[in-house]
Amino acid sequence: MKTLLEMFLIFARIGGFTFGGGYAMLPMLQREVVENKKWATQEELMDYYAIGQCTPGVIAVNTATFIGYKLKGIPGAIFATAGVVTPSVIIVGIIAMFISNFQDYEIVQHAFAGIRAAVVALIANSVIKLSKKSVVDIASFIIFLVVAVLSFTTDLSPIIFILAAGICGLVISIVKESYGGNKKTKEEKK
On average, the pLDDT of the chain sits at 84
Per-residue pLDDT at 80: 93
Per-residue pLDDT at 74: 95
Distance, CA of 149 to CA of 65 (rounded, Å): 31
pLDDT 10s digits, 1-14: 888 999 999 999 88
* Distances 157 to 14, 26, 52, 127, 176 between C-alpha atoms, Å: 27, 21, 14, 19, 29
Per-residue pLDDT at 14: 86
Please tell me what DSSP assigns to residue 34. I
Which residues neighbour 111 within 8 Å (Cβ) at sequence distance 6 or greater?
none
Range with the poorest average pLDDT among 64-68, 136-140, 186-190: 186-190
Q: What is the mean pLDDT of residues 138-147?
A: 91
* Distances 40 to 10, 35, 69, 130, 159 between C-alpha atoms, Å: 14, 9, 11, 14, 23
In the chain, what percentage of residues exceed pLDDT 90? Answer: 24
Per-residue pLDDT at 18: 72
Per-residue pLDDT at 21: 64
Predicted structure pTM score: 0.56
Rounded to the nearest 5 percent, the helix, strand and coil shares of the chain are 85, 0, 15
Per-residue pLDDT at 78: 95
pLDDT 10s digits, 49-63: 878 777 777 777 888
Assign 171 a pLDDT band (cuts: 50, 70, 90): very high
Nearest alpha carbon to residue 77 among 88, 86, 92, 66? 66
Q: Write down the domain spans for the chain.
A: 2-133, 135-183
